[in-house]
Amino acid sequence: MANIDAPFGFRQVGGLGSRPTSNGTSQYKIASGQTAAIYAGDVVALAGSGGLKVEGGTTVTAGYVGPSETDATRNVGIFNGCLYDDPTTQKPTFQNYWPGDVAAAANAFIYDDPDDLFEVQTAGTHTQAVVGRACDMVYAAGTAVSNGRSKEELSGTAGANDMFTVLRLSEDPSNSDVSTANSNWIVRFNVGKHVYLTGI
């Protein structure tokens, strides 16, 4: 049976060692006026000195987070919403996505544990042979803001030093057909691509 083509970004499902999902996030800052949108389930990177070029062609200021490029290092985790004071209503506003170009700094809530596991849909066809290999994410622009959900997927091409390590096929019965595209897989950040582990 064909898989359902409905990407949802990266969804936290637990951690290494089968530990339960804590849903724990850490807070980072989004710069006021940052134009690049970030959606729930997007891969997020932390800008170092000199800033960070992100998907969509903009640059994030050092010390702030933005949407990661497809092959980036300095990834910090997966975006899970943000809180900021709306410049129009002057009220604290929580959204599961950062719309971009808001004249207010925001607190971003990010799954940043390097041992977190995530479920993600692949853009291509993967078989069991991909387990233990690495894949980059596939960036998807123009995500609908009706639900604020990411449309990022796992690349259909596996390598040795890409963004995520593939651990196993997801147990989603609607998306576990490895003979067709869009199956769901469980992944974790590849050690050399996570900001807290790079260089260790």
Q: Exposed, middle or buried, 56 (CB in 10 Å: 0-12/13-18/19+)?
A: middle
- In sequence order, what are the residues at sequence separation of 6 or more whose Cβ sits closer than 8 angstroms to the Cβ of residue 140? 7, 150, 151, 152, 153
Contact 81, 12 (CB under 8 A): no
Q: Predicted confidence band at 184 (pLDDT cuts at 50, 70, 90)?
A: very high
Hey, is 124 helix, strand or coil? coil
Pairing of strands 116-121, 184-189: antiparallel
Provide mean pLDDT across the span 149-176.
91
Write the DSSP string, 38-83. B-BT-EEEE--TT-EE-TTS-EEPTT-EEEPPTT-S-EEEEEEEEE
Provide mean pLDDT across the span 159-178.
92
Q: Predicted confidence band at 2 (pLDDT cuts at 50, 70, 90)?
A: confident
Provide mean pLDDT across the span 31-47.
91
In 90-174, DSSP assigns E strands to: 92-95, 106-111, 116-121, 134-135, 137-138, 153-154, 164-169
Q: In this predicted model, what pLDDT tens digit does every residue of 103-145 receive, in sequence order?
A: 999 999 999 998 899 999 999 999 999 999 999 998 766 555 6
Hey, is 174 helix, strand or coil? helix
Predicted local distance difference test score (pLDDT) of residue 200: 44
Judge whether residue 1 has pLDDT over 80. Answer: no
CA distance 119 to 170: 7
Q: In this predicted model, what pLDDT tens digit does every residue of 135-162 receive, in sequence order?
A: 999 876 655 566 889 999 999 999 888 9
Provide mean pLDDT across the span 31-51.
88
Of the given ranges (12-21, 73-82, 136-145, 187-196), which has the lowest mean pLDDT? 136-145
Judge whether residue 199 has pLDDT over 60. Answer: no
CA distance 17 to 192: 20
Q: In this predicted model, what pLDDT tens digit does every residue of 58-99 receive, in sequence order?
A: 788 889 999 888 767 788 999 999 999 999 999 999 999 999
Contact 59, 51 (CB under 8 A): yes
